[in-house]
Structure 1
Amino acid sequence: MAVRLFEDKEHAAEYLKHRMTPDVVVSDIMGRVKQKMPLPAPLAVDVGCGSGQGTVLLAPYFSQVVGTDVSPAQLENARANQQCANVTYRESPAEDLPLESGTVDLLTSMTAAHWFDWPRFQVEVDRVLKPGGCVALLSYGLDMVLEYGDCSEKLKEICLESYAALNPFRNPVLGRSSLQIYKDMFNSCPYPEKHWHEGLEQRKTMSVNGYIGLVKTFSPFRKYMEQDAQQAEELSNQIRNKLLDAMQVSSAETEVTLVTKYYYWIAWKP
């Protein structure tokens, strides 16, 4: 069964403001794609596109890019921040895409496929891909860390402790590791030509407040907010204060470097 989250307008707005764009991973994926097909190719589809931060990264490589999502609020933000003339958005569940069979050159899902009904989505991927088309599914673990001067190790400890505090609110669909979900998807994909990749690091400069805003977009934090908004807010304040103390600064607008480790798999339809 597919899981629907990130759909209220306030959460969608925060998602657009704080979530990372997977530039490094998309670049790596497209480096592999261009070895198999001439670019620009006709059509890419980004499923579970959210507010479109990743979708637009595909625009230089395709004549047309379509982002799909079940959330009207997410799509409203994506359209309001439209940057590329060749990118459009459609409301649709991942398991029933509004696309003709055999028309898609590349189908991606960026940090969303773990919420899909995998058996049904797998059938839909095969339906819409052209022969020779490819699917690429990417995500990251909840093990991102911060770097700042010579106190990076202490910041890493604070980050990992914070994620551990959110574990009780983790959606059961994710199990203990979303990484394992993607490995299971990869192993069950029937296409003979497929490749697994992990450990791709991406760095992004942001303020401490920006990092706290990012943490607040995570699904376990949102669940905590639903159960006890005051306690959840206290946790976010504790994380902020611990980071500032470790950095020996007073301003939460002080910039740090967020290090995120991505993984993805890619497969070509025969």
Structure 2
Amino acid sequence: MAVRLFESKDHTASYLQYRVAPQELISMIMDYMRKQTKNQFKLAVDVGCGSGQGTVLLAPYFTAVVGTDISPAQLETGLTNSHPPNVSYKQCPAEELPFAAGEVDLVTAMTAAHWFDRPRFLQETDRVLRPGGCLALLSYTLNMTLEYGDVSEALNDICKEFYAALLPYRSPYLGPSSMKLYLDMYNSCSYQDKEWNECFHVRRTVPLRRYICMVETFSSYQKLKEKDPAGAEQLSNDIQNKLLSVMKASSPDTEVTMVVHYFYWLARKP
């Protein structure tokens, strides 16, 4: 990976616990693959796999699934977490995958490709994919929304305050929009069979505290926490208290619907 983040043990543990595993999108990826091939697939590679939340979701569809990441701490967390026997992990850069040419049926990167050396990653993907193999890149915008009774709009105004406070700590590597990075990759992909979707909502009913904890896993929050630990904690507490006040609730265990706004693109190698 071109940028190294998410490597402390505390951060990797939070990443595993609070990030959303996009089961709905895995189903869409497999539907796309089955348009051409109906049988069980042999090998999927999940690049920038982190602690493996998305990697394990591929296990029912492939003989073998390999998650790759540059971070030893992330992979250690993935290994210690329960995973199916056909899932394994390897440490390597996204741009140097340890697979033979034409060996791989599916290459995925879930909320990770924006950190890669993107032109080199696409070249490496083309090398390892078999003819007819697929590439699936997905991520989500950071403007997650909340639904709760008739106060959803007021809650989301507070959520916007949270995101605005973190914006100064956003990595300059990402530029103003990570979605644009993915669209640029999509446009640069030479495969003719490809599709782009910029709005797919994944809903999860979670305790309010889990929403706060998920935002705390973002790289921008981690940068704020590194610079000003007390300020980061105060920001989280203030946002949580404002949300609870609007909800007329006292406990952060009160459940809300968290809506994660995914975007993705799929492509098939000729």
Stretches (4+) displaced over 6 A:
none
Question: After the TM superposition, which of the residue ranges 178-187 and 223-232 deviates more from structure 2?
Answer: 223-232
Alignment of 1:218-237 (within 5 A): 218-237=218-237
Do the aligned residues in 2 keep the contact of 1:40 with 1:60 (CA within 8 Å)?
Answer: no
The yes-or-no answer on 1:242 pairing with 2:239 is no
Mapped partners of 1:39, 1:223: distance in 2: 45
> 2:204 corresponds to which residue?
204
Q: Which amino acid aligns with 2:8?
A: D
How far 1:149 moved relative to its partner?
1.2
> 2:3 corresponds to which residue?
3
> 1:25 corresponds to which residue?
25
> 2:135 corresponds to which residue?
135
How far 1:83 moved relative to its partner?
2.3
Mapped partners of 1:159, 1:91: distance in 2: 36
**What per-residue deviation string (whole Å, max 9, x for no partner) do you get for residues 170-221 of structure 1?**
0001111101000000000111211101211111111111111111100100
The yes-or-no answer on 1:261 pairing with 2:224 is no
> 1:99 corresponds to which residue?
99
How far 1:140 moved relative to its partner?
0.4
Q: Which amino acid aligns with 2:216?
A: K
Mapped partners of 2:82, 2:93: distance in 1: 21
5+ residue gaps, structure 2, are: none
Question: After the TM superposition, which of the residue ranges 38-47 and 106-115 deviates more from structure 2?
Answer: 38-47
> 2:115 corresponds to which residue?
115
Question: After the TM superposition, which of the residue ranges 22-31 and 177-186 deviates more from structure 2?
Answer: 22-31
Aligned length: 270
Identity %, equivalent residues? 58
> 1:171 corresponds to which residue?
171
How far 1:81 moved relative to its partner?
1.2
> 1:50 corresponds to which residue?
50
How far 1:247 moved relative to its partner?
0.3
Do the aligned residues in 2 keep the contact of 1:18 with 1:213 (CA within 8 Å)?
Answer: yes
Q: Secondary structure, in 3 states, of the residue corresponding to 1:39? A: coil
Mapped partners of 1:82, 1:35: distance in 2: 31
Mapped partners of 1:218, 1:203: distance in 2: 19
TM-score by length of 1: 0.98
TM-score by length of 2: 0.98
Q: Secondary structure, in 3 states, of the residue corresponding to 2:7? A: coil
Mapped partners of 1:156, 1:41: distance in 2: 42
> 2:79 corresponds to which residue?
79
**What per-residue deviation string (whole Å, max 9, x for no partner) do you get for residues 101-140 of structure 1?**
1100000000000000011111110110001111010000
> 1:61 corresponds to which residue?
61
Q: Secondary structure, in 3 states, of the residue corresponding to 1:150? A: coil
Q: Which amino acid aligns with 1:207?
A: P
How far 1:168 moved relative to its partner?
0.3
How far 1:15 moved relative to its partner?
0.3
5+ residue gaps, structure 1, are: none
Mapped partners of 1:249, 1:196: distance in 2: 40
Mapped partners of 1:37, 1:56: distance in 2: 21
> 2:151 corresponds to which residue?
151
Q: Secondary structure, in 3 states, of the residue corresponding to 1:119? A: helix
Do the aligned residues in 2 keep the contact of 1:104 with 1:130 (CA within 8 Å)?
Answer: yes
How far 1:38 moved relative to its partner?
2.3
> 2:90 corresponds to which residue?
90
How far 1:77 moved relative to its partner?
1.1
How far 1:32 moved relative to its partner?
1.1
Q: Which amino acid aligns with 1:41?
A: F
Indicate the RMSD between aligned Cα atoms, in angstroms. 1.0
How far 1:58 moved relative to its partner?
0.7
Mapped partners of 1:178, 1:216: distance in 2: 18
Mapped partners of 1:197, 1:21: distance in 2: 18
**What per-residue deviation string (whole Å, max 9, x for no partner) do you get for residues 127-172 of structure 1?**
1000111101000001111111111111111112211111000000
Q: Secondary structure, in 3 states, of the residue corresponding to 2:244? A: helix
Q: Secondary structure, in 3 states, of the residue corresponding to 2:3? A: coil
